[in-house]
Structure 1
Amino acid sequence: MKLPKLISPKIFPILLVNFIGILGYSIVVPILIFIVTDLGGNGFIYGILGAMYPFFQFIGAPILGRLSDKIGRKKVLVISQLGTFVAWTLFLLAFILPETELWSQNTNITGSYVMTLPLVIIFLARIFDGFTGGNISVANAYLSDISTDEDRNSNFGKMGAATSLGFVLGPAFAGVLASTILGEVLPLILAAIISLVAIFVINTQLKESVPCVVNTGKVGLRSLRRFFQVEHKDCYQEGELQAGPQKTSLKMVLKEPGIPLLYLVYFLTFLGFSLFYAGLPIYANTILEWSSTNLGVFLAYSSLIMIIVQGPVLTKLEGKVSNEKLILVGSFVLALSFLLLSYQSLLIIYLANTLLSIGNGLMWPSFMALLSRTGKSTMQGTIQGYGNSMGSIASMFGLILGGVLFEFLATKVFIIGGMIFLIITVLMILNFTQRRKPILEVT
């Protein structure tokens, strides 16, 4: 009976959709490095593969974000999940194909690797999933639509907790399932099934959130043609004719007060974390000699801490501490955690993981809440889409850079990540001291 008090029925469906999507994604995180190395790749190939998703998400997220402003969030979320299901199907196909060598390379920069046919198919799967992977930005836009100023921080904290819960269960499932006779295939099958479940939940449980009557019919060729010309209007009714449609470009979004700095923080945050996600699996596989189960437990522990921070802790802090201060504190704690990760000690690594989870739990939901109330409400899909693209650019650069740098710097690559979060901390301090009022106040 306490569920309605903790989680409003209004936001529960989107939290469930987000949880299911993250669960499917996180199942593969602990095993991907082992799949890549088993099929002939190395840390360099792992970094390139990781960069494929954010690179094509950079292309696709603004398109899906603008489309969600126009035809509604629900339809776009279905499109995104269908793309994810097709991607997992391609991923599974890679395990059926023979490991035919296509080319090999051994240089000081790339290291030694063999590119096989299954690896190419996995690349295609990540590319397809990335292009249709605008579900995160659309889900954030949906949550922004249904949130008020009073519950915005709490709602985004719960969204973060749902994400973290997916990251708790996903790696845990992966570690258990990968140890069965089917190996890495079974987690991939589960990920594909989860994608189908997400489509069902979106269709049956999610109500449209765009703040007007959205056309519930099919998107015709004419609509798609207008869409690909980057046309934008707040929303439309069936049969409605609009004269002089308004275009929403990145240049227009950047004119919104506060958006440029928020996009810079978005970029730097993803850059720092991409070094972590590129370096940690290689670190675990080579230096620590962990199994997929060990890595899964490590990631699950991290997500469990974040659930506590993003759920009850942020709920208690709501209205007492501003988003800006939470971002500042969170980024400083993240900087400290990254610096500790450079020490090759199991105890210190878990201490760093604890601090990283606390910092991330405080910073990211607060940042997303701040972004969701910055700019016009009718532009939130576009704002979130371009923000997602900022993160995608940083991720594709950071994942490649992280994979390459780890070959030369080993765990010292995490120090670079720590410096990035120190820069974010300094940026927030400067804005706070210069304005002496809520940072990025929306006019």
Structure 2
Amino acid sequence: MPDGKEKAISVYPLLMVNFIGTMGISLVLPFLIFLVERFGGNALVYGLLSSMYPFFQLIGSPLLGKWSDIYGRKKILFVSQAGTLFSWILFFIALFVPVTILVNIDSDILGKFMVTLPLLMLFIARGLDGLTGGNVSVSNAYVADISNDGNRSKNFGKLSISTNLGFIVGPALAGILSATVYGEALPVLAAILIAFVGTVMIALYIPDTCSNKADTVMLNVCPYPKSGRMAGEKHKNSIRDVWKIPALRLMFIIYFLLFLGFNTFYTAFPVHAANYLQWSIAELGIFFSFLSIVLVIVEGPVLSYVSKRSRDSSMIIGGSFILGLNFVVLALGNTFFTYMAAVLLALGNGLMWPSIQSMLARLAGNDDQGLVQGLSGSVMSFAAIFGLIGGGLIYELAGRWSFLLTAAIIACVFVLSMRLRSFDATGSQE
């Protein structure tokens, strides 16, 4: 590679795209349950609708990740964002479709609900968004492309900050917009506009990380500096090949357990807050805003300071221990312990999660970054399906002590993370 031809790519345009994408998603979440009930569904239908995104992301994420290795990150990011835009347009149209009953169900097991035309459209919209929802895995691969060992954890921390900021702004904006005479239509329209802005930003401001022309000198951030493979050239490795690599297989298992624990928590905690703590919707919103703010602090200056002095494996081990302790404290009950647990959750997750992303990116190597990130997205989706369905059921059986089960799951992550020291020391997949 000739000197003077190298060019660094800024992470900030991608952070802005990630922020507005997360904000668009979180805009609709607060009132989705009310839409489902208005269109004839019940709690079971709401659970199924919530699982549509991760279910179809399970299918689409590895494909989009692999295609980003072949055709370039920018093209696949654009396709993924365009799919999100179209899904929100379909979602918006569903708000104005007459509630036409397609199937009427009255079951002792499933409960009483109706399958209506607008409800069916919501299912299609969420499924389409999930199928094209590889933007998370492709964004991770993009950050890996433009990072080095010195700033990888810091860049993934910035990516997590942009996500958390989106989840802070989105629900607050949804509350303001839905209070108008236009009801839910205005927040959904805002989600459409936000998705459109994201699509335009990808088209205009996100450079690709690999040249598409053989006669063009590749940038130093090209995902294939060793092999020199160009866009469209045959991709040799498959999902099975990646799974055979011990270090990556261990990372995928850690991913699964981590997201199983988190989705179990995020399903059970609102029930716990409403029934045991007797919180209102406003109090629950304040708690999640507090949690997000502490996460931003940890993933910003705290992570920047610690990452310069610790290896990724050390932060994963320490972070998983703190994260598991958070669920033990949460099981003690009352508001004081709940907020203490929130600080521990933010500290543990804020140190551990960017480090896991950083280590996975490094272990993936140059040739299969998109494929590996896509597979990790599928593992996350697989865990989300089990966690979303099982979290509420487990809480119904065990109450607040169900958080001890989540702590046990994270304890498994802590134990498995010990094995990462050898891979962190060698930097090898083998």
| TM-score over 0.5 (shorter chain) | yes
In the alignment, the residues of structure 2 paired with residue 296 and residue 418 of structure 1 have an alpha-carbon distance, to the nearest angstrom, of 24
8 Å contact from structure 2 (residues 248, 429) kept in 1? no
Shift of 1:284: 5.0
> Are residue 236 (structure 1) and residue 230 (structure 2) matched?
yes
Report the counterpart of residue 125 of structure 2 in structure 1: 125
1:405 to 391, 394, 399: 394
Distance 1:394 1:436, change over 3 A: closer
Once the two structures are TM-superposed, the CA of residue 329 in structure 1 deviates from its matched residue by: 1.8
Structure 2 residue 327 is matched with structure 1 residue 331: no
Structure 1 Cα separation of the partners of residues 419 and 373 of structure 2? 25
After superposition, residues 46-65 of structure 1 pair within 5 angstroms as 46-65=46-65
Post-superposition shift, 1:206? 0.6
| CA contact 1:33–1:281 (8 Å) conserved in 2 | no
Cα offsets for 1:86-121 (capped at 9, x unmatched): 11122222322334443234545x455554443322
Task: Please list the CA deviations of residues 185-231 of structure 1 after superposition, one character each: whole Å capped at 9, or x if unmatched.
Answer: 32222111110010111111110013x43589xxxxxxxxxxxxxxx
Consecutive unaligned residues in structure 1, runs of 5 or more: 1-7, 217-232
Specify the code of the residue in structure 2 equivalent to 1:422. A
Aligned residues: 411
Q: Could you say what the CA RMSD is over the residues aligned between the two structures, in angstroms?
A: 2.7
Q: Distance in 1 between matches of 2:279 and 2:93?
A: 27
1:172 is aligned to 2:172: yes
In structure 2, the gaps of 5 or more residues are 1-7, 216-226
> Which whole-Å CA distance do the structure 2 matches of 1:335 and 1:439 have between them?
28
Amino acid of the structure 2 residue aligned with 1:197: V
Tell me what 2:78 maps to.
78
Contact 1:47-1:278 at 8 Å conserved across structures: no
Match of 1:307 in 2: 296
Q: Structure 1 residue 33 and structure 2 residue 22: aligned?
A: no
Query: Counterparts of 1:108-147 in structure 2 under 5 Å?
Result: 110=110, 113-147=113-147
Give the 3-state SS of the residue equivalent to 1:207 in structure 2. coil
TM-score, with length taken from structure 1: 0.84
Inter-partner Cα distance in structure 2 for 1:158 and 1:288 = 33
Q: CA deviation at 1:122?
A: 1.5
Q: Is the partner of 1:28 in helix, strand or coil?
A: helix
Write the mapping of 1:138-217 to structure 2, written as runs, cut at 5 A: 138-210=138-210, 212-213=211-212
Q: Does 1:357 align with 2:346?
A: yes
Q: Secondary structure at the residue paired with 1:298?
A: helix
Q: 2 CA distance for matches of 1:98 and 1:412? A: 44
Which residue matches 2:245?
Answer: 256
Measured after TM superposition, the shift of residue 343 of structure 1 is 4.9
SS at match of 1:258: helix
Q: Helix, strand or coil: the match of 1:374?
A: helix
CA distance in 1, matches of 2:163, 2:260: 19
Measure, in 1, the Cα distance between the counterparts of 2:94 and 2:27: 17
Q: TM-score scaled to structure 2, two decimals?
A: 0.87
> Structure 1 residues 56-65 or 402-411, which shifts more?
402-411
Q: Name the residue aligned to 1:279.
A: 268
Distance between the aligned counterparts of 1:413 and 1:44, measured in 2? 21
Give the alignment of 1:312-391 within 5 angstroms: 312-391=301-380
Distance change >3 Å, CA 113–CA 214, structure 1 → 2: farther
2:410 to 421, 429, 433: 421
For residues 411 and 98 of structure 1, do their structure 2 counterparts lie closer, same or farther at Cα, with a shift above 3 Å needed? farther
Q: What is the distance in 2 between the residues matched to 1:440 and 1:184?
A: 49
Task: Say if 2:177 and 2:183, in contact at 8 Å, map to a contact too.
Answer: yes
SS at match of 1:247: coil
Larger mean CA deviation between 416-425 and 130-139 belongs to 416-425
Give the match's secondary structure for 2:180: coil
Deviation at residue 64 of structure 1 after TM alignment: 0.6
